[in-house]
Chain A
Amino acid sequence: MRVALFLTCVNDTLYPETGRAVVGLLTRLGVDVDFPMAQTCCGQAHYNTGYRHEAEPLARHFADVFAPYDAVVTPSGSCGAMVRELYPRMGERARAEGRGDALAATLAPVVPKTYELTEFLVDVLGVTDVGAYYPHTVTYHPTCHGLRSLGLGERPRRLLEAVRGLELVELPGAEECCGFGGTFAVKNADVSAAMGADKVRNAESTGADVLCAADNSCLMHIGGTMGRLRTGMRPVHIAEILASTEEEAAV
């Protein structure tokens, strides 16, 4: 099986350690993962801000880059949802605008073979115990697009529960949005910040050292809020926890 890592533009630029963790984790599980260098951005920020037509070339580019692979793995719930939920919709809209089936036909092949990381581990590889070791108290925040668009369900939790040394504590109000929402975070900064502060207070109330999620965009917002509110907690991407072993422990 030819497996490609779609890291996402945000992770590539700001969170390379998440990418290294995914590569380490998948390699440890026997997957030969490739990182096609031509990859850039799925177009989600454009699409969700109202620039659907500007997002189309990015979607076509994505489809071209990842066409040769059997599976595409991404450590981002929202970028995974962009491909799986919104690429088909972009094709439909183009058709409704009288532009024919070309876009839909170009995008269709990558849609079913794109997986968010925890889906790939649980559904494709069939593992929940990835042999990880992470001696910390962790609370898990299910990000909105992973939760509601992709339906990740219990997958992340099952993976975390199998990690040795990890104590998983329940996050109050877990399913409430953290307030990131892409450009929402700056267009409606006051509401976004209020939501972020509530999320961080809930996280703090658990007594955990680490808040874990499967999306670094949300973690950037939550972590930035934690920093500003001077909490002792850290945001950590789930890939980094799952990649951590007794031999090579993540901090």
Chain B
Amino acid sequence: MSGTYLGMPAFPEAARKAVGDSTLRGNLRHATHTIRDKRARAVAELDDWAALREAGKQIKDHTLRHLDRYLVQVEEAVTAAGGTVHWAADADEANEIVARLVEEAGGGDSAEHEVVKVKSMATQEIALNEALEARGVHAYETDLAELIVQLGRDRPSHILVPAIHRNRGEIRDIFRSEMSEWGRPAPENLTDTPAELAEAARLHLREKFLRARVGISGANFVVAETGTLVVVESEGNGRMCLTLPETLISVVGIEKIVPRWQDLEVFLQTLPRSSTAERMNPYTSMWTGTTDEDGPRTFHLVLLDNGRTDTLADEVGRQALRCIRCSACLNVCPVYERAGGHAYGSVYPGPIGAILSPQLRGTGSDVDASLPYASSLCGACYEVCPVAIDIPEVLVHLRERVVQGGPAVRHGNRVVLRPAKGHAAERAAMRAAQWAFTHPGVLRTGQRLASRTRRLHPRTLPGPGRAWSGSRDLPPVPAEPFRDWWQRTHGGKDGSE
């Protein structure tokens, strides 16, 4: 994915800094707990939630299992409606296509050299803004949280609310110091009330919307039978970008397809309630190709692979492609709440990121090899997921890939991965434990040895053991293991030693 994340440290090191940052901890705790309770109430309003969740899962699974057919159908429908479809195997190719289209549209040769963007995970994933910047095209993010991140030269830390790690005071400071460099400055005497901050963003961005010639978006859904694209949003920046410019370019992951128009009835009920805890988000735009005298005259759809087909090839891991990017798993995750989004080293943080990034990018880097372990497997993510992605199952599956290696698909090619480095001692310990556990007599000898030497055991451990005892006392070892007591008192009916 993005080059921005190259060289990220493994998750535990990055998380350590976040855990020690009390402002960040407070911001994340406040925001995630607020939305957690609201989501639960919004979901509880629908007594058929479980059936909606199951239908969403089935629609997505069916689509993924026949994706070749539906991709071709999307292409035909969008073309018939007046759009142009492009195919991008990876990030570089997608960026090339978009840059060329911007130049052709004249967005690059106007005085402004600029495009306006609707928040889109796919374009963040491919680092489109950086690629356009290298060609002298400014891409303005127009979602409020994206604007905060862009002005603050920061990185997103949440799928829905990329600036979740910032509180209102920090946002005010960023607006005050940075807006003037990008366009209309922040109003004088800007306070930190959310309403005033939103007003400042409205004023700052309005001139950009009104003069933009090229808009760039992603899409939440693409309907194969009709060629309709759907963007779900709140602020109206999406509507601005989708309707005012002459040219619209939508970069969409190939997993965003649903087969039929009717399928939207499921996701338009589950997505808003799962993400912003609303019955319905303020604005949803749906468009099919181009319409005379209403909206862009030119529409391009860029279908993006960039690791998705590699993910699809994994029978256990492919369920991650059901994701509709609602963020409910982030908001409920106790690990995300403490580690923050940046520790995940990807535009996809939280539990879904921990299974998506190592599949889209592979498990080669330190951070990607550590992500499958960035979970206590508590299962809260699976419980709230509106398309029932069993995130713990995929995490464990990817742990296996890290420690054992094995067959996988990378860039469309079958490869056999070698076990990751740094797990040798663990592997040896696991094998030793397996041997002891299949030989009860060995286990018993070990237990007795521990019991007899128990007065010598320290309450804290040196070396790697400090990972436990740095924050927790060790449990005392009992005078005898249970099985010795049982044998003494019940005579050990079966002698299995």
Co-assembled chains A and B: yes
* A224 and B383 contact, Cβ closer than 8 Å, known pairs A19-B482, A184-B373: no
How many chain-B residues does the 8 Å CB contact rule pick out? Answer: 71
* A144 and B430 contact, Cβ closer than 8 Å, known pairs A37-B483, A49-B403, A224-B472: no
Q: Complex formed: what's the CA distance from A196 to B334 in Å?
A: 11
B293: Cβ under 8 A from any A Cβ:
no
Q: Complex formed: what's the CA distance from A55 to B316 in Å?
A: 18
* A196 and B374 contact, Cβ closer than 8 Å, known pairs A17-B478, A40-B438: no
Contact check, A49 vs B430: say whether CB atoms are below 8 A apart. yes
| A189 neighbours in B (Cβ, 8 Å) | 12, 467-468, 470-471
Kindly provide the distance from the CB of A251 to the nearest chain B CB, expressed in whole angstroms: 15
A152: Cβ under 8 A from any B Cβ:
no
| A35 neighbours in B (Cβ, 8 Å) | 482-483, 486, 490
Q: Given B400, B402, B468, which contacts A185 in the complex, CB threshold below 8 Å? A: B468
Kindly provide the distance from the CB of A59 to the nearest chain B CB, expressed in whole angstroms: 10
Q: Complex formed: what's the CA distance from A37 to B497 in Å?
A: 8
Contact check, A50 vs B433: say whether CB atoms are below 8 A apart. no
Kindly provide the distance from the CB of A64 to the nearest chain B CB, expressed in whole angstroms: 10
Kindly provide the distance from the CB of B117 to the nearest chain A CB, expressed in whole angstroms: 33
Q: Complex formed: what's the CA distance from A51 to B492 in Å?
A: 32
- Tell me which residues from 1 to 29 in chain B have a Cβ below 8 Å from any Cβ of chain A: 11-12, 15-16, 19-20, 25
Q: Complex formed: what's the CA distance from A208 to B400 in Å?
A: 41
Q: Given A37, A55, A194, A228, which contacts B19 in the complex, CB threshold below 8 Å? A: A194
| A115 neighbours in B (Cβ, 8 Å) | none
Q: Complex formed: what's the CA distance from A53 to B383 in Å?
A: 27
A193: Cβ under 8 A from any B Cβ:
yes
Contact check, A61 vs B376: say whether CB atoms are below 8 A apart. no
B494: Cβ under 8 A from any A Cβ:
yes
Contact check, B433 vs A46: say whether CB atoms are below 8 A apart. yes
Number of chain A interface residues as a range: 35 or more
- Tell me which residues from 41 to 98 in chain A have a Cβ below 8 Å from any Cβ of chain B: 41, 43, 45-55, 57-58, 61, 89, 93, 96
- Tell me which residues from 199 to 237 in chain A have a Cβ below 8 Å from any Cβ of chain B: 220-221, 223-225, 227-228
Q: Complex formed: what's the CA distance from A175 to B338 in Å?
A: 16
Contact check, B467 vs A50: say whether CB atoms are below 8 A apart. no
Q: Given A37, A41, A93, A96, which contacts B494 in the complex, CB threshold below 8 Å? A: A37
Cβ contacts A to B, 19 pairs, < 8 Å: A13-B450, A15-B478, A34-B493, A36-B494, A37-B486, A37-B487, A37-B493, A89-B393, A144-B380, A177-B378, A181-B378, A184-B376, A184-B377, A185-B472, A188-B12, A193-B471, A195-B338, A221-B472, A224-B473
Nearest 10 Cβ contacts at the A-B interface: A181-B376, A224-B472, A50-B399, A38-B496, A177-B378, A193-B471, A227-B473, A16-B482, A19-B482, A144-B378
Interface residues of B (CB under 8 A from A): 11-12, 15-16, 19-20, 25, 315-316, 334-335, 338-339, 372-380, 382-383, 393, 396, 398-404, 426-427, 430-431, 433-434, 436-438, 440, 443, 447, 450, 464, 467-468, 470-475, 477-478, 480-483, 485-487, 490, 492-497
